[in-house]
Structure 1
């Protein structure tokens, strides 16, 4: 019986909060407009970065000197390394 009372109180509070959020115009802006703007900015940033060749400095620490680590270090030091490493 107590559980049902607690659940009804929780649902009443949740319903009140939902009604407040639906009435709030700034919440609608955050729900719809902000993701569209952020997606547009990210798309522009990706387009700008892909139009020119990008460069990244890598630091590799080979502590075990195993065959996989040695092959990785050799690949990155090679002047003929592939452009896209996946």
Structure 2
């Protein structure tokens, strides 16, 4: 999978991996854990629509077609290995 034209695991200029915002990383972590948009919304106390927008942004930034590919990319890059 392509990673939006950037290098594979280099942090973006703002210090966030793959150019993702801190909130997008939170959402990606939940996606990686197999949670639905509704479950993510409840966990992060945001609307389901906001989660949907974040997921769309994540997919675009990672250059992937779906949630499964996004989760696979996160696993491959070990983005959440240090988190419980």
TM over 0.5: no
More helix as a share of residues? 1
| Bin of the TM-score, shorter chain as denominator length | under 0.3
Choose between structure 1 and 2 for higher RCO, CA contacts under 8 A separated by at least 6 residues.
Answer: 2
State which structure, 1 or 2, has the greater radius of gyration over its C-alpha atoms. Answer: 1
TM-score, with structure 1 as normaliser = 0.21
